[in-house]
C-alpha cells in the first residue's frame, strides 16, 4: 500500500508571525521528571506530538497520574518513584522517550518491556544499556541490543561514565539512573550536549554539579535523591522553528517571525551557521522563561553562500542538518557538513536520505561516511530543480526538510509519508499554509 503523499510547490512569499510548538526534548523530560517526583507537576506549553504523547502514556503505565488540562497544559502527579508497568511500554518513534525512560526506570525494583515502531526497533540501545549494565541493571532482548527488550531494574551502584559519543540521551539516562544509585552518577562529556536534564533536575530540587575541565564537562549527581514536583514552562522548539525560518530564507520576498523560540546555546548551532551563510536572521524580545533563554526569531529571504560547518558544532544542531542541507541547496557554492556520523542512527539514516532526496531534486551532493557536502545551485535566478517524489522512511525531519525545499524549488516536491510529521510538529502543514506556503495532498 502506498500512503498518500504531500506535495509542496512554489507560490508567493511567506509572511507572518507564528509560535513554534513546544520543545520536544524539554517536553519528554518534564513528563519523566514529573513522574519521578513527589507531588503535582504542572506543565505549560507541552508539545502534543506523538513522541511526547507516548512518553505521557508510558509514565502513566509506570504509576504516575497524568492528566491533560487543556491545550499544552498537563498535570502529572508522581509518587516519588516508579512502579512496574502492567503492559509493554511502546515508545513509538521516540529514541529520547525510550532511552530516558530506561534510565529513569533502572533504579527501581521492576521489570519493564520496551518496544517502538519499526524505526525505533532498528536503533542502537546498547549506548544506554552498556552504562546501565555497569550500574547493575540487567536486560534481555534481541541480539545487538535492539528493541523490544526487557529491563530488570533494581539496586544500582555508582558509575563515572565518559560518553563515547556526544549524546544528551545517554547522558540523561545515566543521570536519571544515578538519582537512585548508591553514590549517584557522574557523566563526563568530551563535547557539551543539550543540558535540559541538568537544568530541569535542579528545578525539581536535585543537587547536581557541573564543572568544565580541560578534558570535558563533568556532571556529578549525588545518589538517593527524591525529586520535588515543579512548574514547567516549555519554550518553543528551535528544531521545529528551523523549518518555517529556513523556508523564509529561501523563498523570495519572505519575512517570517517565530515567537518564543528556545535560544539555549547548546541548541542554536543552526542559527549560527545560517548567519555565517549570510542569512538575515534576527532575534527580538530576548528574555528568560522557565530558566531558559527564549526570543522571537525573524528570518527574511537572503542570498546564502556555502560554508564549512565546524564538526565540533554538531551537538548543538544535530537534528538540524537535514534542513541545513535543504538550505544549502539554495546557496552559492558548497556547504560541507562533517563529523555527523550520528545522523546515520537517527529516526533514519539522515545522511543517506538527504543525499538521495536532494540529488533527486537536482542538487549536487556528495555523501561521505560521516559527512555530506551539498553544492548550492544559486547563480543569478537559478533555483533548485525539484520535481521529485522523495522517500522519507517515516522520518519527520526528512519529510519537513523536503517540503520546505519544494516551497522554493522550480518544480513541486512530494514526500511519501507525511503522517510522521506529527511526531514532532503537529499542525506543520496548516502552519506553513497560513504563512502562504502551498502544500497539498
In the complex, which residues of this chain contact ligand S3P (CB under 6 A)?
25, 96, 167-169, 172, 194, 318-319, 342
Which of 319, 349, 410, 416 is flagged as catalytic?
319
3 with 416: CB under 8 angstroms? yes
- Which residue lies nearer to ligand S3P by CB, 50 or 332? 50
In the complex, least distance from residue 116 CB atom to ligand S3P, rounded to whole angstroms: 14
Instruction: Report which of 67, 435, 37, 56 is spatially closest to residue 251, judged by C-alpha positions.
Output: 435
In the complex, least distance from residue 353 CB atom to ligand S3P, rounded to whole angstroms: 15
- Which residue lies nearer to ligand S3P by CB, 97 or 357? 97
Cis peptide before 148 (omega within 30 of 0): yes
- Which residue lies nearer to ligand S3P by CB, 194 or 233? 194
Question: What residue has cell string 541490543?
Answer: 145
Residue 319 annotated to the active site: yes
In the complex, least distance from residue 229 CB atom to ligand S3P, rounded to whole angstroms: 21
Which residues of 119-235 form beta strands (DSSP E)?
A: 138-141, 149-152, 156-162, 181-189, 209-213, 216-221, 231-233
In the complex, least distance from residue 189 CB atom to ligand S3P, rounded to whole angstroms: 11
Q: How far is CA 300 from the centre of its chain?
A: 25
362 torsion bin: left (phi>0), alpha (psi -120 to 50), beta (else): left
In the complex, least distance from residue 167 CB atom to ligand S3P, rounded to whole angstroms: 3
- Which residue lies nearer to ligand S3P by CB, 10 or 194? 194
- Which residue lies nearer to ligand S3P by CB, 47 or 304? 47
- CB nearest ligand S3P: which residue? 25
425 with 49: CB under 8 angstroms? yes
Instruction: Report which of 422, 345, 413 is spatially closest to residue 121, judged by C-alpha positions.
Output: 345
- Which residue lies nearer to ligand S3P by CB, 196 or 301? 196
In the complex, least distance from residue 196 CB atom to ligand S3P, rounded to whole angstroms: 7
329 with 355: CB under 8 angstroms? no
Instruction: Report which of 11, 56, 49, 8 is spatially closest to residue 32, judged by C-alpha positions.
Output: 56
In the complex, least distance from residue 6 CB atom to ligand S3P, rounded to whole angstroms: 22
Grid coordinates given for 43: 506543565
How far apart are the C-alpha atoms of 432 and 156, rounded to whole Å?
48
Instruction: Report which of 51, 159, 115 is spatially closest to residue 421, judged by C-alpha positions.
Output: 51
* Helix or strand (DSSP H, E) at 368: strand 364-368
Question: What residue has cell string 533504579?
Answer: 107
- Which residue lies nearer to ligand S3P by CB, 172 or 264? 172
Half-sphere exposure of 420 (CA within 13 A, CB side): 24
Catalytic site positions: 319
Amino acid at each position: 500500500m502506498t500512503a498518500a503523499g504531500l506535495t509542496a510547490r512554489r507560490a508567493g512569499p511567506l509572511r507572518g508571525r507564528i509560535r513554534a510548538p513546544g520543545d520536544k526534548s524539554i517536553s519528554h523530560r518534564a513528563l519523566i521528571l514529573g513522574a519521578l517526583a513527589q507531588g503535582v507537576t504542572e506543565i505549560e506549553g507541552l508539545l502534543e506530538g506523538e513522541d511526547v504523547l507516548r512518553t505521557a502514556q508510558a509514565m502513566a503505565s509506570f504509576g504516575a497520574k497524568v492528566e491533560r488540562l487543556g491545550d499544552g497544559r498537563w498535570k502529572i502527579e508522581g509518587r516519588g518513584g516508579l512502579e512496574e508497568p502492567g503492559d509493554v511500554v511502546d515508545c513509538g518513534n521516540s529514541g529520547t522517550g525510550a532511552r530516558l525512560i530506561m534510565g529513569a526506570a533502572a533504579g527501581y525494583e521492576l521489570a519493564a518491556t520496551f518496544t517502538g515502531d519499526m524505526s525505533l526497533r532498528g536503533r542502537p540501545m546498547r549506548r544506554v544499556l552498556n552504562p546501565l549494565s555497569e550500574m547493575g541493571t540487567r536486560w534481555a532482548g534481541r541480539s545487538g541490543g535492539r528493541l523490544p527488550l526487557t529491563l530488570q531494574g533494581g539496586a544500582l551502584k555508582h558509575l563515572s561514565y565518559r560518553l563515547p559519543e556526544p549524546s544528551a540521551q545517554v547522558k540523561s539516562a545515566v543521570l536519571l539512573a544515578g538519582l537512585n544509585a548508591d553514590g549517584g552518577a557522574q557523566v563526563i562529556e568530551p563535547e557539551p550536549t543539550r543540558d535540559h536534564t541538568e537544568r530541569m533536575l535542579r528545578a525539581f530540587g536535585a543537587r547536581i554539579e557541573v564543572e568544565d575541565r580541560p578534558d570535558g564537562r563533568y556532571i556529578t549527581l549525588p545518589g538517593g535523591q527524591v525529586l520535588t514536583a515543579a512548574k514547567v514552562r516549555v519554550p518553543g522548539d528551535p528544531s521545529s522553528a528551523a523549518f518555517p525560518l529556513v523556508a523564509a530564507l529561501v523563498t523570495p520576498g519572505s519575512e517570517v517571525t517565530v515567537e518564543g523560540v528556545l535560544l539555549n546555546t547548546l541548541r542554536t548551532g543552526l542559527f549560527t551557521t545560517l548567519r555565517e551563510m549570510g542569512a538575515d536572521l534576527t532575534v527580538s524580545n530576548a528574555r528568560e522563561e522557565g530558566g531558559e533563554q527564549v526570543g522571537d526569531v525573524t528570518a527574511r529571504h537572503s542570498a546564502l553562500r556555502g560554508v564549512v560547518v565546524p564538526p565540533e558544532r554538531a551537538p548543538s544542531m544535530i537534528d538540524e542538518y537535514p534542513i541545513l542541507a535543504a538550505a544549502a541547496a539554495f546557496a552559492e557554492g558548497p556547504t560541507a557538513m562533517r563529523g555527523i556520523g550520528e545522523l546515520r542512527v537517527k529516526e533514519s539514516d539522515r545522511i543517506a536520505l538527504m543525499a538521495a532526496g536532494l540529488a533527486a531534486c537536482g542538487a549536487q551532493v556528495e555523501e561521505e561516511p560521516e559527512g555530506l557536502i551539498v553544492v548550492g545551485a544559486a547563480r543569478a535566478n537559478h533555483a533548485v530543480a525539484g520535481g521529485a517524489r522523495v522517500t522519507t522512511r517515516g522520518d519527520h525531519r526528512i519529510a519537513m526538510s523536503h517540503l520546505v525545499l519544494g516551497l522554493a524549488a522550480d518544480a513541486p516536491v512530494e514526500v511519501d509519508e507525511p503522517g510522521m510529521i506529527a511526531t514532532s510538529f503537529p499542525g506543520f502543514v496548516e502552519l506553513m499554509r497560513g504563512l502562504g506556503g502551498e502544500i497539498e495532498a
